[in-house]
Amino acid sequence: MVNKNPHTPSSLPQWPEAAQTLMALMHAQGEVARLTEREQLFSSLLVSVNAVLWAFDWENRQVLYVSPAYERIFGRPAGLLLADCNQWRDSIYPDDLEYAERSLAQVLDRGAVEDREYRIIDAQGQVRWLSDKCFINRNAEPGQRLIVVGIAEDITEKKRLEAELQRLATTDVLTQSSNRRHFFECANREFEQARLQGSPLAFLLLDIDDFKVINDTYGHPEGDIVLQRIAESGRAALRRGDLFGRIGGEEFAAVFPGCSADRAHQVAERLQREIQRQSFSHQGQVFTITVSQGLTDLRRDDESLDSLFARADAAMYHAKRQGKNRIVSG
Ligand SMILES: Nc1nc2c(ncn2[C@@H]2O[C@H](COP(=O)(O)OP(=O)(O)OP(=O)(O)O)[C@@H](O)[C@H]2O)c(=O)[nH]1
Give the N- to C-terminal CA distance of the chain in Å, as an integer: 122
Quick: pLDDT tens for 26-41: 899 999 999 988 888 8
179, 209, 211, 290: residue to mutate for ligand 1 pocket, most atoms within 8 A of CB: 211
The rounded distance, in Å, linking the Cα atoms of 201 and 192 is 10
Catalytic position from the list 39, 141, 250, 251: 250
Q: Output the average pLDDT for the chain.
A: 92
Residue 50, pLDDT score = 86
Instruction: Give me the CATH code for the 171-329 domain, please.
Output: 3.30.70.270
* CB 291, CB 206: distance < 8 Å: yes
Residue 13, pLDDT score = 56
Strands (DSSP E) found in the chain: 51-57, 62-66, 112-113, 117-121, 127-136, 147-154, 201-208, 243-246, 251-257, 279-282, 285-288, 291-297, 327-329
* CB 214, CB 222: distance < 8 Å: yes
CA of 259 to the centre of ligand 1 (A): 30
Quick: pLDDT tens for 111-133: 999 999 999 999 999 999 999 99
190 labelled catalytic = no
The domain limits of the chain are: 48-161, 171-329
The rounded distance, in Å, linking the Cα atoms of 85 and 54 is 11
Which residues contact ligand 1 via a Cβ below 6 A? 174, 207-212, 215, 220, 223-224, 227, 249-250, 320, 324
Minimum-distance ligand 1 atom for the alpha carbon of 211: 20
Residue 162, pLDDT score = 95
* CB 150, CB 56: distance < 8 Å: yes
Instruction: Give me the CATH code for the 48-161 domain, please.
Output: 3.30.450.20
The number of residues making up the chain comes to 330
Residues whose CB is less than 8 angstroms from the CB of residue 151 and which lie 6 or more positions away in sequence, other chains included: 51, 52, 53, 54, 132, 133
β-strand 291-297 against 327-329: which pairing, if any?
parallel
CA of 230 to the centre of ligand 1 (A): 14
Q: Name the pTM for this structure.
A: 0.74
Please identify every stretch of the chain with a pLDDT value under 50, giving residue numbers as ranges.
1-4, 6
The values of phi and psi at residue 147, to 5°, are -110, 125
